Amino acid sequence: LTMITKSDLVLRDLDLLRRINEKTKCVVQMTLTTYDEGLCKMIEPNVCTTRRRAEVLRIFKENGIPTVVWLCPILPYINDTEENLRGLLGYCIEAGVSGIICFGFGVTLRDGDRKYFYQKLDEHFPGLKEKYIKKYGSAYEVRSDNNDALTRIFREECRTHGILCDNTEIFNYLHSFEDKTGLDQISLF
**Residue 26: which residues within 8 A CB-CB, separation 6 or more?**
1, 2, 17, 18, 20, 65, 66
Predicted model pTM: 0.91
In this prediction, residue 184 carries a pLDDT of 60
Report domain extents, the chain. Answer: 2-105+146-175, 107-143
Handedness of CA 139, 144, 148, 151 (dihedral sign): negative
pLDDT digits (tens, 9 = 90+) for 8-50: 999 999 999 999 999 999 999 999 999 999 999 999 999 999 9
Name the fold adopted by 2-105+146-175: TIM Barrel (3.20.20)
3 state SS for the chain: CEEEECCHHHHHHHHHHHHHHHHECCEEEEEECCCCHHHHHHHCCCCCCHHHHHHHHHHHHHCCCCEEEEECCCCCCCCCCHHHHHHHHHHHHHHCCCEEECCCCEEECCHHHHHHHHHHHHHHCCCHHHHHHHHHCCCCEEECCCHHHHHHHHHHHHHHCCCECCHHHHHHHHHCCCECCCCCCCCCC
- Say which amino acid occupies 46: N
pLDDT digits (tens, 9 = 90+) for 120-165: 999 999 999 999 999 999 999 999 999 999 999 999 999 999 999 9
Cβ–Cβ under 8 Å, residues 146 and 105:
yes
pLDDT digits (tens, 9 = 90+) for 62-113: 999 999 999 999 999 999 999 999 999 999 999 999 999 999 999 999 988 9
Residue (of 100, 121, 113) closest to 140 by Cα position: 113
In this prediction, residue 177 carries a pLDDT of 84
In this prediction, residue 183 carries a pLDDT of 62
Cβ–Cβ under 8 Å, residues 33 and 72:
yes
- Across the chain, mean pLDDT equals 95
